[in-house]
Structure 1
């Protein structure tokens, strides 16, 4: 070996061998020259990094290089060093191992808002980190993170969105370092089909809702009722209840109704219905008493307990110049004074309600006494009816009839058949008989269909389906899907307030025809179809 006294650089080591490779270290071993140097300089660096070095005594020919990065290629140079002279480098290359990662992960017990995840332990892992996020949520979501210790291999994900695909990435932690992730996909179940909402006990200002109890721990129910023209109102009842009386409604008005169960995780499937309030009832049993030559008393019974005011009018029989008096709702009798003797008078009593709607007129006729006549003990009420009668018929159904007060000129005809032409006849009823008929046709609208149907976000086994709502009071949507090339058709269903779903367990690399049908109380609406294709090898 050359020395500074003899001149020249020292001899270089030979035969560099690496061993004991881990994710953060490896051993470098070499053969020294015949004349051992004072020391060895071992230089190591990443391909694109700055060099690091350690010194080893000349009597040693091995060293463990530590604190390395996982799965990283390192260049190694070993130099003989004598005083200030160094040899040519002995060169080598080694790559650290990757951090041990999770190899298998199972997703199971997928429910509407939860799923469980378990995995096999990774060698040497100090803990695990699970990242999960929704793939096809209809609203923005934030990636969530769960960290557990190295002895935990199962967790439950909670407060998930129903009917939603989630991407899960599981990392094995080694101190502050994380392994490569293992990624899989899970899909929450759709909410169970909504129960049935029944409407009964109709009056002019109220109706009772009765619904099926929703499954699970319901915290409360949210009831929404909206008139055909007007703003929606809401109220909430305890989750143990399944009925509620809606009050202070507008008479002869159609209401769209919904009942939604509310859980700690959020709202459940909405139950839908509709109902029409009755016409306001008229006063009843008009009778007369205390008849004199210039006065008599009119008395009647309440038609309903929530009357706000009464209006009583009177005029000589056959004339139209009525005089009117407004009475409080607790006044159901009134003396008409200043009348002419021996003269018949027409009397009308009208109930006025808090929503300002007016009842049909309760009519009667009474005659004052002639001069010198004794008052009669009792007289029975009389007078002509003044109602309109409306007959409704189709070419396929029997006639139906409804009636309204003589001062009204409009009526809502409920519970008709969709997309059906009706013949309508209006007849005015007078004391002396019926007027000529007024006839005209009318046709109901057909049941609607969804709009802007889209099949998106394909994976190897799922497709996301979304649409815009169909017109009208949709109870639920049915989603049919079948391979376009042929096969067994399958169906999913969601509530009428849901406008998307995830079709899962599909065949990969397959074109599907997807059809969405709105379901109304009167039957199925129009069908709309769109194609979508699953991926062959796409990542979740």
Structure 2
């Protein structure tokens, strides 16, 4: 096998907290590579890289700081290198924490508003479901839950997304009264409940298919067929 040789190490990108490096291999394959450098406290750090790679991003660096990056190639027990390059991370970008007046006018009150639940209404019923809708007069909720008890008294929960304002609760019993409780969830806090009572529609009885009524019995014609002094013969 050829003696493996490292080529050139180059800095291909910088951010305030990382440096991107790439390199060439002049001769022979390597099993893996290692990038070594010292952090802001002078502690040695190492980033392992697979042998089929030829670039790496070194993260967790300090902004606007000069680093000397050393690349080693490893094959078996042999370590080749280092190839070195000195690079400087980008300066920290100043983030303007103060919102502009227009943002203050719209964003700030929105976030400080405590969300409120309005009214819960039953908008429809079938033998096995109830449709509910509700209003939110103030603020926004992350999600909602509808809670009720089934015919056996077991609590049931239906979860709804925060952008919804209506739901159909299925799997109910026909002709049964249910008390529905709506809760709103906002930043881990539960608001509510607002409640409404709904009655599912009665089960519709299936009407049997119509059958033809039986024919009314009707008499035919009666005829005298034979007469003797003491009898009369009749036929129908």
Q: Calculate the TM-score normalised by the size of structure 1.
A: 0.18
Task: Between the two structures, name the one with larger relative contact order (CA 8 Å, sep ≥ 6).
Answer: 2
Structure with greater helix share of residues: 2
